[in-house]
Structure 1
């Protein structure tokens, strides 16, 4: 059973202020950046959703088996272990990013001590467009009232407490997302059509772009902007459309073609927006992280990457063709969990396993699915010392 809000607050305090694993000295020598600043949703949230005031419903990520693979306890991450942002931090010789915890970080001196090497504003369930916008069009965010705008507001407050925010940002890698997926997911799962969502995409991308520009004006000079995942391969979507789809709606891997094409449409517009911003700010390094194709290769060649034969099923879930049941999600007593999450791409039907996130992180950091790629000089040194595969 999900914890009550009061219990969640206690768990949150324990988890956030428990020291995270530290990188080795060898890694620290080859730091590309002094710190990482993260925005986004559940693909990047390392614990902000545990703040009771941000929850619109109990957070299942405070319950086992979440966190079982690496942390051996729930941490608020919607996975069995680490996320892409965790692997990025570790590969650069930085500690895992702490969640921002708005209520617990009013003191400026504490912020400087706690977040000198990185800070994470991402909130699980967050959308790019505001909570109020979706209320007006009759859509409820079931998880949180936080959005990208909320995170930007926190960021401004955070910067105001730093003695030299410009210098901090000049030596920081800012990771913008993934963000935008929930703008579509919440609507899809509440019965809206792809045609209705199609109209929304330019608005979502434009808002992401305007936020990036605000960050640049504040002093950000290096940014990584991920695109959306292939949502047509997620058990939650496959289950949602299972009864209304026919064989022609699926690709040869079993993913829904229309949903993946929609994700690619978002990514196409995002790439155009990033190019527009690059031309306005030629001094800023903006990298696009192709999460879509980095993930898609796992569905196309699962055995090559060590996955089993249930690539479209959840490791943790409540049954059904894809082991996803809306009324028995991972983290509640009715759900069961597989023995080896590393053989699965999907952890709980909506989020990926640590094994899948590791592969995406590798692809992004090595530059194969990043345009332009990370500096070969900087990250080349890391890979020679202790690569991401060693974590």
Structure 2
């Protein structure tokens, strides 16, 4: 598969210099308003990489009966010491960002949408595990199954619009709220590809999805700008060729399919980079149209690749770099029929020595280092800064 993929990524090589020029031109003079700003809340959208409990609450309120694997131990064992609906052993990137800014952990929308606005003083999280950027119809037309009841990015944005009057009671209050909020746009889009890759859709077909995914993300950003958002952080896709889930599903007898430095599948990582490049070009275009705003690209891909390229120097075991901490065996300790939390799965003794938590998502230790790369640099463009928060002694620090 790797050899056949080379021609599909010619675009990436041909546009590198053009894109770099656009990026420098657009982001070299970010708006002073947003950088160094006092963020009073975080408003989040996305999928399981940012979900702090929404999918769990949705499933608890449904008639499905049996609770999902991520609602059971050992999820949450490292920090919360119980499952919280987060897809990890502890905190996520959104949690580290909130604590770094001196804000409370961002509450999930479900389970609290009927509560007083006090619950959401530090912001509100609409991210739902399994969510896609595109609507269900896109996948249904192509015969692609969505595991849970899908919550698209558009639906999440609709919830925010419905909730906004309860967060701010006058147009001026809403303007102030959005001006002082950091908007986290995902990660979103990964599941649009995951669901199709796991029914073995071709690389060429998957590449054709990318413009539609990026267009929806851009549409949501523009909707939020219309509402008054001033600072938006938009993550790219992760290096999916390094995930135990993909390494298990797409095991290849061809050595040339694997990166000799990391052991990751080259063609899958190239696909993630293609998505990211298309996203960054679109973000540059939006930034040019709105020079008074700050559109921050969060480079999840390279922040994570740093851990795969030099695991030992970041505290991870080089022997288990590509294996899941929690799983049911196999070369990468991932089994799609016995996921983490099921009776057949077992968790490692020290999650902090692993990059992957359950074969799909990361450990708290990995999320912490990815967050550090975003908050301290160099993996945000432009770099996110804040100037008015005095962090309490008990707050999280790197």
User: Do the structures match in fold with TM over 0.5?
Assistant: yes
1:203 is matched with which residue: 212, 215, 228? 212
Residue in 2 that maps onto 1:89: 98
Contact 2:100-2:395 at 8 Å conserved across structures: yes
Residue in 2 that maps onto 1:9: none
- The answer to whether 1:37 aligns with 2:51 is no
Q: Distance in 2 between matches of 1:104 and 1:338?
A: 34
1:164-183 deviation per Cα after TM superposition (whole angstroms, max 9, x unaligned) = 22211111000000000000
Residue in 1 that maps onto 2:279: 270
Residue in 2 that maps onto 1:128: 133
Tell me by how many angstroms 1:370 deviates.
Answer: 0.4
3-state SS of the aligned residue for 2:201? coil
Contact 1:31-1:93 at 8 Å conserved across structures: no
Tell me by how many angstroms 1:374 deviates.
Answer: 1.3
1:332 is matched with which residue: 326, 342, 345? 342
**Shift in alpha-carbon separation, 1:75–1:157, aligned structure 2, 3 A:** same
Residue in 2 that maps onto 1:17: none
Q: Distance in 2 between matches of 1:55 and 1:186?
A: 24
Tell me by how many angstroms 1:66 deviates.
Answer: 0.2
* Aligned pairs (5 A) from 1:1-391: 32-50=38-56, 51-52=58-59, 58-101=67-110, 104-106=112-114, 110-161=115-166, 162-163=168-169, 164-242=173-251, 244-252=252-260, 253-308=262-317, 309-375=319-385, 377=387, 388-390=396-398
**Shift in alpha-carbon separation, 1:389–1:245, aligned structure 2, 3 A:** farther
Q: Distance in 1 between matches of 2:86 and 2:63?
A: 14
1:75-100 deviation per Cα after TM superposition (whole angstroms, max 9, x unaligned) = 00000000000000000111101100
Higher relative contact order (CA 8 A, sep 6+): 2
Q: Distance in 2 between matches of 1:60 and 1:329?
A: 7
**Shift in alpha-carbon separation, 1:200–1:263, aligned structure 2, 3 A:** same
Residue in 1 that maps onto 2:28: none
**Shift in alpha-carbon separation, 1:378–1:360, aligned structure 2, 3 A:** farther
Residue in 1 that maps onto 2:32: none
- The CA RMSD measured in Å over matched residues stands at 2.0
Residue in 1 that maps onto 2:21: none
Tell me by how many angstroms 1:277 deviates.
Answer: 0.3
Tell me by how many angstroms 1:144 deviates.
Answer: 3.2
1:111-158 deviation per Cα after TM superposition (whole angstroms, max 9, x unaligned) = 421111110000000000012221121111113321101100101011
Q: Distance in 2 between matches of 1:188 and 1:54?
A: 28
Q: Distance in 1 between matches of 2:338 and 2:344?
A: 6
Tell me by how many angstroms 1:59 deviates.
Answer: 2.2
Contact 2:102-2:395 at 8 Å conserved across structures: no
1:154-206 deviation per Cα after TM superposition (whole angstroms, max 9, x unaligned) = 01011132212221111100000000000001111122121110000011001
Give TM-score, length-normalised by structure 1.
Answer: 0.87
Contact 1:38-1:119 at 8 Å conserved across structures: yes
Contact 1:362-1:388 at 8 Å conserved across structures: no
3-state SS of the aligned residue for 1:374? coil
Give TM-score, length-normalised by structure 2.
Answer: 0.85
3-state SS of the aligned residue for 2:359? coil
Residue in 2 that maps onto 1:16: none
Contact 1:54-1:145 at 8 Å conserved across structures: no
Contact 2:37-2:385 at 8 Å conserved across structures: no
**Shift in alpha-carbon separation, 1:270–1:385, aligned structure 2, 3 A:** farther
**Shift in alpha-carbon separation, 1:360–1:35, aligned structure 2, 3 A:** same
Q: Distance in 2 between matches of 1:105 and 1:122?
A: 14
Q: Distance in 2 between matches of 1:386 and 1:208?
A: 36
Q: Distance in 2 between matches of 1:178 and 1:344?
A: 21
